[in-house]
Amino acid sequence: MPRERLTETRVENWKPAKEAWLRDTDSHLAVRARPARGGISKVFIFVSTLDYKDVRITIGEATGEGLYEAREKAREWQKLIDQGKDPREVIREQEAAEQAAIEAARAAAEAERAAAEAAKAEAERQARYTLRALCDVYLSALERARKGKSANAARSLFKCHIDPDTANRPARDVTAHEVAALVRRVREAGKERAAGVLRSYLSAAYNAAKRAPFDSALPADLIPFGIEHNPVDAIPAIAVQKGDRRLSAGELRAYIGHLLRIGQESGPELADVALLLALYAGGQRMAQLLRAKVGDFDQDTATLRLWDGKGKRTQPREHLLPLAPHAAGMVEALVERAKDREQARAKQEGRAPELAGLWLFSAHGRVAMNPETVSTRAGEISTSMGSEPFSVRDIRRTVETMLAGLGISKDIRAQLLSHGISGVQAAHYDRHSYIDEKHAALVAWEARLAAIRKAERTPSNVVRLGQRAA
Protein backbone atom coordinates (compact mmCIF):
# COMPACT_ATOMS: atom_id res chain seq x y z
CA MET A 1 0.00 0.00 0.00
CA PRO A 2 1.78 3.16 -1.21
CA ARG A 3 2.21 5.93 1.35
CA GLU A 4 1.87 9.60 0.62
CA ARG A 5 0.94 12.59 2.70
CA LEU A 6 -2.71 13.14 2.01
CA THR A 7 -3.87 16.62 1.18
CA GLU A 8 -7.25 17.91 0.18
CA THR A 9 -6.03 18.38 -3.41
CA ARG A 10 -4.48 14.95 -3.52
CA VAL A 11 -7.63 13.29 -2.26
CA GLU A 12 -9.80 15.18 -4.76
CA ASN A 13 -7.53 14.58 -7.80
CA TRP A 14 -6.60 10.98 -7.15
CA LYS A 15 -8.58 8.88 -9.64
CA PRO A 16 -6.92 5.57 -10.41
CA ALA A 17 -8.25 3.44 -13.26
CA LYS A 18 -8.64 0.39 -11.06
CA GLU A 19 -8.98 -0.43 -7.39
CA ALA A 20 -6.14 1.10 -5.45
CA TRP A 21 -5.12 2.26 -1.96
CA LEU A 22 -3.31 5.39 -0.87
CA ARG A 23 -1.93 5.46 2.70
CA ASP A 24 -1.36 8.67 4.65
CA THR A 25 2.17 9.10 5.94
CA ASP A 26 1.08 11.11 9.01
CA SER A 27 -1.67 8.84 10.34
CA HIS A 28 -3.33 5.45 10.09
CA LEU A 29 -5.65 6.86 7.44
CA ALA A 30 -5.97 5.46 3.94
CA VAL A 31 -8.06 6.12 0.88
CA ARG A 32 -9.46 3.24 -1.11
CA ALA A 33 -10.62 3.85 -4.66
CA ARG A 34 -12.81 1.58 -6.75
CA PRO A 35 -14.33 2.04 -10.16
CA ALA A 36 -18.00 2.70 -9.96
CA ARG A 37 -20.82 3.49 -12.33
CA GLY A 38 -20.25 6.99 -13.57
CA GLY A 39 -16.76 7.41 -12.03
CA ILE A 40 -14.63 6.47 -9.05
CA SER A 41 -15.86 5.63 -5.54
CA LYS A 42 -13.42 6.68 -2.81
CA VAL A 43 -13.73 6.13 0.96
CA PHE A 44 -11.56 6.91 3.99
CA ILE A 45 -10.50 3.78 5.89
CA PHE A 46 -8.71 3.49 9.23
CA VAL A 47 -5.88 0.98 8.87
CA SER A 48 -3.95 -0.48 11.83
CA THR A 49 -3.13 -3.69 13.67
CA LEU A 50 -4.03 -5.07 17.09
CA ASP A 51 -2.47 -8.21 18.49
CA TYR A 52 -0.86 -8.84 15.07
CA LYS A 53 -4.24 -8.69 13.35
CA ASP A 54 -5.35 -6.14 10.79
CA VAL A 55 -7.94 -3.63 11.92
CA ARG A 56 -9.79 -1.78 9.17
CA ILE A 57 -12.75 0.50 9.76
CA THR A 58 -14.54 2.45 7.05
CA ILE A 59 -14.87 6.11 8.03
CA GLY A 60 -16.90 7.47 5.13
CA GLU A 61 -16.74 9.03 1.69
CA ALA A 62 -13.29 10.46 0.82
CA THR A 63 -13.42 14.14 -0.09
CA GLY A 64 -10.96 16.95 0.31
CA GLU A 65 -13.22 18.72 2.76
CA GLY A 66 -13.54 15.62 4.91
CA LEU A 67 -9.81 14.89 5.17
CA TYR A 68 -9.17 16.74 8.45
CA GLU A 69 -12.09 15.11 10.23
CA ALA A 70 -11.15 11.64 8.92
CA ARG A 71 -7.53 12.07 10.03
CA GLU A 72 -8.66 13.10 13.54
CA LYS A 73 -10.93 10.08 13.72
CA ALA A 74 -8.05 7.80 12.68
CA ARG A 75 -5.77 9.28 15.34
CA GLU A 76 -8.50 8.83 17.98
CA TRP A 77 -8.94 5.18 17.10
CA GLN A 78 -5.18 4.60 17.03
CA LYS A 79 -4.99 5.89 20.61
CA LEU A 80 -7.48 3.21 21.56
CA ILE A 81 -5.34 0.55 19.89
CA ASP A 82 -2.29 1.88 21.70
CA GLN A 83 -4.26 1.27 24.90
CA GLY A 84 -5.00 -2.27 23.80
CA LYS A 85 -8.65 -1.54 22.95
CA ASP A 86 -10.35 -2.57 19.72
CA PRO A 87 -11.98 0.52 18.20
CA ARG A 88 -14.62 -1.71 16.60
CA GLU A 89 -15.82 -2.88 20.02
CA VAL A 90 -15.79 0.68 21.29
CA ILE A 91 -17.81 1.74 18.26
CA ARG A 92 -20.30 -1.08 18.85
CA GLU A 93 -20.60 -0.08 22.49
CA GLN A 94 -21.11 3.55 21.53
CA GLU A 95 -23.72 2.60 18.94
CA ALA A 96 -25.43 0.38 21.50
CA ALA A 97 -25.38 3.20 24.03
CA GLU A 98 -26.71 5.63 21.44
CA GLN A 99 -29.43 3.17 20.48
CA ALA A 100 -30.28 2.64 24.13
CA ALA A 101 -30.43 6.39 24.61
CA ILE A 102 -32.71 6.66 21.59
CA GLU A 103 -34.93 3.88 22.94
CA ALA A 104 -34.95 5.48 26.38
CA ALA A 105 -35.89 8.82 24.88
CA ARG A 106 -38.60 7.15 22.83
CA ALA A 107 -39.87 5.29 25.92
CA ALA A 108 -39.80 8.49 27.96
CA ALA A 109 -41.72 10.29 25.24
CA GLU A 110 -44.23 7.43 25.09
CA ALA A 111 -44.56 7.43 28.88
CA GLU A 112 -45.06 11.18 28.86
CA ARG A 113 -47.69 10.85 26.15
CA ALA A 114 -49.41 8.02 28.06
CA ALA A 115 -49.28 10.05 31.26
CA ALA A 116 -50.77 13.04 29.47
CA GLU A 117 -53.55 10.86 28.04
CA ALA A 118 -54.15 9.26 31.44
CA ALA A 119 -54.30 12.69 33.06
CA LYS A 120 -56.72 13.84 30.40
CA ALA A 121 -58.85 10.70 30.84
CA GLU A 122 -58.77 11.15 34.62
CA ALA A 123 -59.82 14.77 34.28
CA GLU A 124 -62.68 13.71 32.00
CA ARG A 125 -63.64 10.94 34.42
CA GLN A 126 -63.61 13.32 37.34
CA ALA A 127 -65.81 15.72 35.42
CA ARG A 128 -68.14 12.97 34.17
CA TYR A 129 -68.27 10.21 36.79
CA THR A 130 -69.20 12.28 39.80
CA LEU A 131 -71.32 11.33 42.78
CA ARG A 132 -74.16 13.28 41.17
CA ALA A 133 -73.82 11.22 37.98
CA LEU A 134 -73.68 7.96 39.98
CA CYS A 135 -76.91 8.92 41.75
CA ASP A 136 -78.56 9.74 38.40
CA VAL A 137 -77.62 6.35 36.89
CA TYR A 138 -78.83 4.57 40.02
CA LEU A 139 -82.15 6.45 39.90
CA SER A 140 -82.59 5.47 36.25
CA ALA A 141 -81.99 1.84 37.22
CA LEU A 142 -84.70 2.09 39.88
CA GLU A 143 -87.13 3.54 37.36
CA ARG A 144 -86.38 0.80 34.82
CA ALA A 145 -87.07 -1.73 37.59
CA ARG A 146 -90.50 -0.08 38.02
CA LYS A 147 -89.57 1.30 41.43
CA GLY A 148 -90.72 4.82 40.67
CA LYS A 149 -91.67 5.62 44.26
CA SER A 150 -88.21 4.67 45.53
CA ALA A 151 -86.61 6.63 42.69
CA ASN A 152 -88.61 9.73 43.53
CA ALA A 153 -87.83 9.45 47.23
CA ALA A 154 -84.11 8.96 46.57
CA ARG A 155 -84.02 11.82 44.06
CA SER A 156 -85.56 14.19 46.60
CA LEU A 157 -83.08 13.16 49.30
CA PHE A 158 -80.07 13.45 46.99
CA LYS A 159 -81.18 16.87 45.79
CA CYS A 160 -81.89 18.25 49.26
CA HIS A 161 -79.04 16.81 51.28
CA ILE A 162 -75.97 16.29 49.05
CA ASP A 163 -74.14 19.61 48.82
CA PRO A 164 -72.81 20.71 45.39
CA ASP A 165 -69.14 20.32 46.34
CA THR A 166 -69.59 16.69 47.32
CA ALA A 167 -71.99 15.99 44.45
CA ASN A 168 -69.42 17.18 41.91
CA ARG A 169 -66.60 15.08 43.37
CA PRO A 170 -65.56 11.89 41.52
CA ALA A 171 -67.77 9.18 42.98
CA ARG A 172 -64.91 6.80 43.68
CA ASP A 173 -62.96 9.51 45.51
CA VAL A 174 -65.76 10.36 47.95
CA THR A 175 -64.66 9.24 51.40
CA ALA A 176 -66.54 7.73 54.31
CA HIS A 177 -65.87 10.94 56.24
CA GLU A 178 -67.66 13.00 53.56
CA VAL A 179 -70.68 10.69 53.49
CA ALA A 180 -70.78 10.67 57.28
CA ALA A 181 -70.82 14.48 57.26
CA LEU A 182 -73.82 14.45 54.87
CA VAL A 183 -75.76 12.02 57.07
CA ARG A 184 -74.78 13.86 60.25
CA ARG A 185 -76.09 17.22 58.95
CA VAL A 186 -79.49 15.69 58.19
CA ARG A 187 -79.65 13.91 61.53
CA GLU A 188 -78.64 16.98 63.52
CA ALA A 189 -81.39 18.91 61.73
CA GLY A 190 -83.85 16.61 63.51
CA LYS A 191 -84.58 14.47 60.44
CA GLU A 192 -83.43 11.12 61.76
CA ARG A 193 -85.60 9.06 59.42
CA ALA A 194 -84.42 11.07 56.39
CA ALA A 195 -80.80 10.61 57.50
CA GLY A 196 -81.25 6.84 57.67
CA VAL A 197 -82.93 6.66 54.27
CA LEU A 198 -80.27 8.91 52.69
CA ARG A 199 -77.56 6.59 53.99
CA SER A 200 -79.43 3.54 52.67
CA TYR A 201 -79.90 4.95 49.17
CA LEU A 202 -76.27 6.09 48.93
CA SER A 203 -75.12 2.65 50.07
CA ALA A 204 -77.39 0.98 47.49
CA ALA A 205 -76.02 3.22 44.71
CA TYR A 206 -72.41 2.42 45.59
CA ASN A 207 -73.10 -1.30 45.99
CA ALA A 208 -74.80 -1.39 42.58
CA ALA A 209 -71.79 0.31 40.95
CA LYS A 210 -69.41 -2.02 42.79
CA ARG A 211 -71.24 -5.14 41.55
CA ALA A 212 -71.98 -3.85 38.04
CA PRO A 213 -68.83 -5.27 36.36
CA PHE A 214 -69.80 -8.76 37.52
CA ASP A 215 -73.63 -8.65 37.54
CA SER A 216 -75.22 -8.56 34.09
CA ALA A 217 -78.55 -7.58 35.65
CA LEU A 218 -77.13 -4.19 36.59
CA PRO A 219 -76.75 -1.39 34.02
CA ALA A 220 -73.38 -1.21 32.23
CA ASP A 221 -73.49 2.57 32.72
CA LEU A 222 -72.33 1.96 36.31
CA ILE A 223 -69.07 0.24 35.30
CA PRO A 224 -67.06 3.32 34.20
CA PHE A 225 -67.39 4.83 37.68
CA GLY A 226 -64.71 2.34 38.77
CA ILE A 227 -66.20 1.78 42.22
CA GLU A 228 -64.19 -0.84 44.12
CA HIS A 229 -65.34 -0.12 47.67
CA ASN A 230 -68.41 1.37 49.28
CA PRO A 231 -67.58 4.38 51.50
CA VAL A 232 -70.98 4.06 53.19
CA ASP A 233 -70.05 0.69 54.72
CA ALA A 234 -68.16 2.41 57.53
CA ILE A 235 -71.25 4.37 58.56
CA PRO A 236 -73.64 2.55 60.93
CA ALA A 237 -77.22 2.16 59.75
CA ILE A 238 -79.75 4.32 61.53
CA ALA A 239 -82.44 2.13 63.05
CA VAL A 240 -85.98 2.95 62.04
CA GLN A 241 -88.11 3.79 65.03
CA LYS A 242 -91.06 1.46 65.00
CA GLY A 243 -94.37 3.23 64.98
CA ASP A 244 -97.06 2.23 67.43
CA ARG A 245 -99.76 4.82 66.69
CA ARG A 246 -103.11 3.12 66.23
CA LEU A 247 -106.49 4.77 65.96
CA SER A 248 -109.18 3.83 68.40
CA ALA A 249 -112.62 2.82 67.14
CA GLY A 250 -113.88 6.33 67.91
CA GLU A 251 -111.01 7.96 66.04
CA LEU A 252 -111.55 5.64 63.09
CA ARG A 253 -115.24 6.54 63.05
CA ALA A 254 -114.34 10.25 62.99
CA TYR A 255 -111.77 9.60 60.27
CA ILE A 256 -114.35 7.85 58.07
CA GLY A 257 -116.76 10.71 58.68
CA HIS A 258 -114.23 13.23 57.37
CA LEU A 259 -113.60 11.09 54.31
CA LEU A 260 -117.30 10.76 53.50
CA ARG A 261 -117.82 14.52 54.00
CA ILE A 262 -121.19 13.88 55.58
CA GLY A 263 -123.71 16.57 54.71
CA GLN A 264 -121.84 17.95 51.72
CA GLU A 265 -123.62 17.57 48.43
CA SER A 266 -120.41 17.68 46.42
CA GLY A 267 -119.27 14.40 47.94
CA PRO A 268 -115.71 13.37 48.81
CA GLU A 269 -112.71 14.48 46.77
CA LEU A 270 -110.63 11.95 44.86
CA ALA A 271 -107.89 11.88 47.52
CA ASP A 272 -110.55 11.11 50.13
CA VAL A 273 -111.88 8.27 47.95
CA ALA A 274 -108.36 6.84 47.77
CA LEU A 275 -107.98 6.97 51.53
CA LEU A 276 -111.40 5.41 52.04
CA LEU A 277 -110.78 2.61 49.53
CA ALA A 278 -107.37 1.84 51.06
CA LEU A 279 -109.14 1.48 54.40
CA TYR A 280 -112.03 -0.69 53.16
CA ALA A 281 -109.70 -2.82 51.00
CA GLY A 282 -107.82 -3.94 54.09
CA GLY A 283 -105.19 -1.24 54.61
CA GLN A 284 -103.48 -1.36 51.23
CA ARG A 285 -100.30 0.60 50.46
CA MET A 286 -101.29 3.90 48.91
CA ALA A 287 -98.60 3.93 46.21
CA GLN A 288 -99.76 0.54 44.90
CA LEU A 289 -103.44 1.46 45.06
CA LEU A 290 -102.94 4.70 43.12
CA ARG A 291 -101.23 2.80 40.29
CA ALA A 292 -104.35 0.70 39.65
CA LYS A 293 -105.97 0.99 36.23
CA VAL A 294 -109.40 0.22 34.81
CA GLY A 295 -108.05 -3.01 33.31
CA ASP A 296 -106.94 -4.15 36.77
CA PHE A 297 -110.52 -4.57 38.00
CA ASP A 298 -112.49 -7.73 37.17
CA GLN A 299 -116.10 -6.68 37.61
CA ASP A 300 -117.43 -10.24 37.39
CA THR A 301 -115.43 -11.40 40.40
CA ALA A 302 -115.07 -7.96 42.05
CA THR A 303 -111.32 -8.55 42.16
CA LEU A 304 -108.84 -5.68 42.03
CA ARG A 305 -105.29 -6.41 40.90
CA LEU A 306 -102.44 -4.40 42.38
CA TRP A 307 -98.73 -4.72 41.66
CA ASP A 308 -96.34 -4.96 44.59
CA GLY A 309 -92.83 -3.87 43.62
CA LYS A 310 -91.67 -3.24 47.18
CA GLY A 311 -88.32 -4.56 48.38
CA LYS A 312 -85.68 -6.27 46.23
CA ARG A 313 -88.06 -7.76 43.69
CA THR A 314 -86.85 -7.43 40.09
CA GLN A 315 -90.46 -7.79 38.90
CA PRO A 316 -93.56 -6.56 40.77
CA ARG A 317 -95.65 -9.30 42.36
CA GLU A 318 -99.31 -9.62 41.41
CA HIS A 319 -101.47 -8.85 44.44
CA LEU A 320 -105.14 -9.80 44.04
CA LEU A 321 -107.88 -8.36 46.25
CA PRO A 322 -111.28 -10.09 46.16
CA LEU A 323 -113.18 -7.07 47.45
CA ALA A 324 -116.16 -7.12 49.76
CA PRO A 325 -119.33 -5.35 48.51
CA HIS A 326 -118.69 -1.82 49.78
CA ALA A 327 -115.12 -1.61 48.43
CA ALA A 328 -116.18 -3.27 45.18
CA GLY A 329 -118.87 -0.63 44.72
CA MET A 330 -116.29 2.12 45.22
CA VAL A 331 -114.03 0.64 42.53
CA GLU A 332 -116.98 0.21 40.14
CA ALA A 333 -117.77 3.90 40.57
CA LEU A 334 -114.13 4.80 39.87
CA VAL A 335 -114.14 2.64 36.73
CA GLU A 336 -117.29 4.34 35.43
CA ARG A 337 -115.85 7.76 36.24
CA ALA A 338 -112.64 7.02 34.33
CA LYS A 339 -114.52 5.58 31.33
CA ASP A 340 -116.96 8.51 31.14
CA ARG A 341 -114.11 11.04 31.20
CA GLU A 342 -112.14 9.13 28.55
CA GLN A 343 -115.14 8.72 26.24
CA ALA A 344 -115.92 12.43 26.48
CA ARG A 345 -112.30 13.32 25.81
CA ALA A 346 -112.01 10.85 22.91
CA LYS A 347 -115.19 12.22 21.33
CA GLN A 348 -113.87 15.75 21.59
CA GLU A 349 -110.53 14.72 20.05
CA GLY A 350 -112.13 12.59 17.34
CA ARG A 351 -110.58 9.25 18.26
CA ALA A 352 -111.56 5.89 19.70
CA PRO A 353 -111.54 5.72 23.51
CA GLU A 354 -108.73 3.76 25.20
CA LEU A 355 -110.31 2.30 28.29
CA ALA A 356 -108.12 -0.50 29.71
CA GLY A 357 -105.12 1.67 30.48
CA LEU A 358 -107.02 4.41 32.31
CA TRP A 359 -105.92 5.28 35.82
CA LEU A 360 -108.56 4.78 38.51
CA PHE A 361 -107.13 7.70 40.47
CA SER A 362 -106.27 10.60 38.19
CA ALA A 363 -107.38 14.21 38.34
CA HIS A 364 -107.18 14.73 34.58
CA GLY A 365 -106.73 11.23 33.24
CA ARG A 366 -103.16 11.75 32.11
CA VAL A 367 -101.13 10.60 35.12
CA ALA A 368 -101.87 8.73 38.33
CA MET A 369 -102.43 10.71 41.49
CA ASN A 370 -99.28 11.40 43.50
CA PRO A 371 -99.13 9.53 46.85
CA GLU A 372 -97.92 12.75 48.47
CA THR A 373 -101.26 14.34 47.62
CA VAL A 374 -103.07 11.65 49.55
CA SER A 375 -100.59 11.74 52.45
CA THR A 376 -101.06 15.50 52.71
CA ARG A 377 -104.83 15.05 52.79
CA ALA A 378 -104.51 12.46 55.58
CA GLY A 379 -102.42 14.95 57.53
CA GLU A 380 -105.09 17.62 57.10
CA ILE A 381 -107.76 15.26 58.43
CA SER A 382 -105.51 14.32 61.35
CA THR A 383 -105.09 18.00 62.23
CA SER A 384 -108.78 18.77 61.92
CA MET A 385 -109.68 15.88 64.23
CA GLY A 386 -107.60 17.45 67.00
CA SER A 387 -106.33 14.10 68.27
CA GLU A 388 -102.81 12.69 68.35
CA PRO A 389 -101.35 13.10 64.83
CA PHE A 390 -101.47 10.07 62.55
CA SER A 391 -100.36 9.19 59.02
CA VAL A 392 -101.40 6.82 56.24
CA ARG A 393 -98.99 4.25 57.66
CA ASP A 394 -100.73 4.50 61.03
CA ILE A 395 -104.05 3.74 59.33
CA ARG A 396 -102.50 0.62 57.80
CA ARG A 397 -101.20 -0.41 61.23
CA THR A 398 -104.66 0.19 62.73
CA VAL A 399 -106.29 -2.03 60.10
CA GLU A 400 -103.94 -4.94 60.71
CA THR A 401 -104.31 -4.64 64.46
CA MET A 402 -108.10 -4.73 64.19
CA LEU A 403 -107.95 -7.63 61.70
CA ALA A 404 -105.94 -9.54 64.27
CA GLY A 405 -108.63 -8.70 66.78
CA LEU A 406 -111.17 -10.35 64.48
CA GLY A 407 -109.21 -13.60 64.68
CA ILE A 408 -107.69 -13.36 61.21
CA SER A 409 -104.41 -15.26 61.22
CA LYS A 410 -101.01 -13.69 60.70
CA ASP A 411 -100.51 -15.60 57.43
CA ILE A 412 -103.80 -14.40 55.97
CA ARG A 413 -103.08 -10.83 57.10
CA ALA A 414 -99.71 -11.05 55.35
CA GLN A 415 -101.44 -12.15 52.14
CA LEU A 416 -104.09 -9.46 52.46
CA LEU A 417 -101.71 -6.58 53.18
CA SER A 418 -98.97 -7.96 50.87
CA HIS A 419 -96.29 -8.05 53.51
CA GLY A 420 -92.78 -9.35 52.76
CA ILE A 421 -93.88 -12.65 51.25
CA SER A 422 -90.60 -14.25 50.31
CA GLY A 423 -88.37 -17.21 51.05
CA VAL A 424 -88.07 -20.55 49.29
CA GLN A 425 -91.57 -21.72 50.18
CA ALA A 426 -93.32 -18.57 48.92
CA ALA A 427 -91.06 -18.13 45.89
CA HIS A 428 -91.09 -21.70 44.56
CA TYR A 429 -93.74 -23.89 46.16
CA ASP A 430 -96.74 -22.10 47.62
CA ARG A 431 -98.96 -21.38 44.62
CA HIS A 432 -102.23 -21.09 46.54
CA SER A 433 -103.96 -17.81 45.64
CA TYR A 434 -105.63 -17.32 49.09
CA ILE A 435 -108.55 -15.70 47.26
CA ASP A 436 -111.24 -17.26 49.44
CA GLU A 437 -109.35 -16.51 52.66
CA LYS A 438 -108.71 -12.90 51.67
CA HIS A 439 -112.34 -12.42 50.62
CA ALA A 440 -113.60 -13.79 53.93
CA ALA A 441 -111.24 -11.45 55.79
CA LEU A 442 -112.41 -8.42 53.79
CA VAL A 443 -116.08 -9.29 54.37
CA ALA A 444 -115.39 -9.53 58.09
CA TRP A 445 -113.49 -6.25 57.96
CA GLU A 446 -116.33 -4.40 56.23
CA ALA A 447 -118.70 -5.69 58.88
CA ARG A 448 -116.34 -4.40 61.56
CA LEU A 449 -116.18 -0.97 59.91
CA ALA A 450 -119.96 -0.89 59.68
CA ALA A 451 -120.16 -1.63 63.40
CA ILE A 452 -117.63 1.09 64.16
CA ARG A 453 -119.63 3.63 62.17
CA LYS A 454 -122.69 2.64 64.22
CA ALA A 455 -120.62 2.93 67.42
CA GLU A 456 -120.97 -0.82 68.14
CA ARG A 457 -118.11 -2.72 69.71
CA THR A 458 -118.38 -5.86 67.55
CA PRO A 459 -121.10 -6.65 65.00
CA SER A 460 -123.33 -9.51 66.08
CA ASN A 461 -123.13 -11.20 62.69
CA VAL A 462 -119.30 -11.36 62.62
CA VAL A 463 -117.83 -14.76 63.41
CA ARG A 464 -114.16 -14.85 64.37
CA LEU A 465 -112.31 -16.84 61.73
CA GLY A 466 -111.34 -20.23 63.06
CA GLN A 467 -114.37 -20.34 65.42
CA ARG A 468 -117.80 -21.82 64.87
CA ALA A 469 -120.94 -19.74 65.30
CA ALA A 470 -122.97 -20.70 68.32
> What domains are there in the chain, each with its CATH number?
8-85 (3.30.160.390), 129-234 (1.10.150.130), 249-453 (1.10.443.10)
In the predicted model, what is the mean pLDDT of residues 224-252? 89
320: which strand partners?
A: 305
In the predicted model, what is the mean pLDDT of residues 60-84? 93
User: Is pLDDT above 60 for 221?
Assistant: yes
3: which strand partners?
A: 23
Q: What is the pLDDT of residues 101-120, one digit of tens each?
A: 999 999 999 999 999 998 88
The CA distance from 69 to 63, in Å, is 10
pLDDT reported for residue 123: 77
In the predicted model, what is the mean pLDDT of residues 422-438? 61
Q: Which value, to the nearest 10 degrees, does the dihedral of the CA atoms of residues 404, 405, 407, 412 take?
A: -20
pLDDT reported for residue 404: 94
In the predicted model, what is the mean pLDDT of residues 137-154? 89
In the predicted model, what is the mean pLDDT of residues 408-422? 83
In the predicted model, what is the mean pLDDT of residues 291-300? 93
User: Is pLDDT above 50 for 424?
Assistant: no
- Cβ(240)–Cβ(193) below 8 Å: yes
Contacts with 184 (C-beta within 8 Å, 6 or more apart), sequence order: 195
In total, the chain counts a number of residues equal to 470
User: Is pLDDT above 60 for 264?
Assistant: no
State the amino acid at position 407 in one-letter form.
G
In the predicted model, what is the mean pLDDT of residues 273-289? 94
In order of 13, 47, 65, 371, the CA distances from 69 in angstroms are 19, 15, 8, 95
For residue 11, the Cα-to-chain-centroid distance in whole angstroms is: 80
Q: Annotate 205-219 with DSSP letters as a single string.
A: HHHHHHHTTT-TTS-
User: Is pLDDT above 50 for 465?
Assistant: no
The CA distance from 222 to 218, in Å, is 8
| Terminal-to-terminal C-alpha distance of the chain | 142
- Cβ(208)–Cβ(138) below 8 Å: yes
User: Is pLDDT above 90 for 451?
Assistant: yes
Q: What is the pLDDT of residues 175-214, one digit of tens each?
A: 999 999 999 999 999 888 899 999 999 999 999 999 999 9
Confidence of residue 2 (pLDDT cuts 50, 70, 90): confident
User: Is pLDDT above 60 for 46?
Assistant: yes
User: Is pLDDT above 80 for 262?
Assistant: no
